[in-house]
Amino acid sequence: MKRRVVITGIGSVTPLGLSVEETWRNLIAGKSGIRPIAIFDAGTFPTTFAAQVPDFDLAPYVRNPGEFRKAGRNVRFAMAAARQAVDDAGLAAGRFDPERTGIYMGSGEGALDFFTLCQSVAHGTGPDGKVSAAGFAEMGFKRYDAICELEQEPNMPANHLAAEYGICGPTYSCLTACAASTQAVGEAMDLLRIGELDTVIAGGTHSMIHPLGVTGFNLLTAISTGPKDQPWRASRPFDRDRAGFVLGEGSTVMILENLEHARARGAKIRAELTGYGSSTDAYRMTDIHPEGRGPAAAIRMALQDAGVRPEDVDYISAHGTGTQENDKVETLTVKLVFGPHAHKVPISSVKSTLGHLIAAAGATELMTCVLAIRDQVLPPTMNLETPDPQCDLDYVPNAARKARVEVCLSNSFGFGGQNDSLVVRRFVP
């Protein structure tokens, strides 16, 4: 018999705030975290804006801030979000059973030593325009920092968390791009269900706001390039004039426990995870299957796993990137799975103001589902000004909405064709 799995703590660091409540408050108010890039000079790039985490200081969240001097932004965000989640769950350091607790983080690369790389390439480039390996190495061995190089590895957030909290159970890093943290939470739930663990710290963290990240997405024509004078209008999921997502960064971490363990320690339960589905498009690396077969399979599996019918779902947190293909296919997918109920269930994309947090997106969007259940309010899809005939569902346009919310579906569809969906509901003893 599968054990019930509950969420007992949440922490978050996003472009809209340095806590769960600040992020939620600004999200419901329709405020945007999208602004000109300040991390590096992006003035000559096609895209000059992103959704950055503002004014962040790691020191209050860790025992020894000096240990993180060379850590990537992904590690820093994860440590802060995890501390908030641990405190929210009432699990101070030392209250974890080290061998019955695990970590499962969706993540990506961390601190890219981009400028040293550029210096090394320039130093090794001859008059013919070719890079000499010897010339590259001459500068590289002088300038590269081995610790900085190590810290860019995507498993560093999970490993730093294990060291900070003395956790000796299994530690996993999920690298399925935009679906990573949804998959991490889903698979963490499965570990708890079968009784392998009592507690899992699960979620996601990422930052790709660096020259290589922005250049790559510009070359893919995946991110929006304007309007540059009004960056908060650039992310417009489901709008006819949508032109790509806005790159974001941040972290959301949750404490997941099996119900028996949570009850035994008197934990406050925020919500219950009841369903998880995962599939692969087996199509293209950057394009979603035009018939929505992969996303539809993941959603159906999640609903079946949760034991709920489509008409039982009160709200869908969409992947909703703001690209032409994603939003059209996601709309089609909802119609395929939900049938007549598709036009009755509200859907929204918080990427319209949060940006796309890549590996941290799914966990952050799941957090908004938990808060929607708590407050009985739906976050809006901002910048939805011109309806697209191919996107004709209820996207909660431009303003939050009071609603009855008991059961939510959260979708994440990643590069490479990875599709993951979670069902979360109000906890009923």
Catalytic residues: 178, 319, 356
Is residue 278 within 8 Å of residue 294, measured between CB atoms?
A: no
DSSP 364-421: HHHHHHHHHHHHTEE--BTT--SBBTTB-S---BSS-EE---SEEEEEEEETTTEEEE
3-state secondary structure of 302: helix
The sign of the dihedral angle between the CA atoms of 181, 169, 84, 314 is positive
The DSSP secondary-structure symbol of 312 reads G
Q: Which of 183, 200, 370 is nearest to 272 (CA)?
A: 370
What does the block give as tokens for 54? 């503002």
The angle formed by the CA atoms of residues 205, 210 and 212, to the nearest 5 degrees, is 110
The sign of the dihedral angle between the CA atoms of 51, 279, 409, 296 is positive
What's at 97, amino acid-wise? Answer: D
Centre a 10 Å sphere on the Cβ of residue 221 and count the other Cβ atoms it contains.
13
Beta strands in 86-130 (DSSP E): 101-106
Q: State the distance between the two ends of the chain, measured CA to CA, in whole angstroms.
A: 17
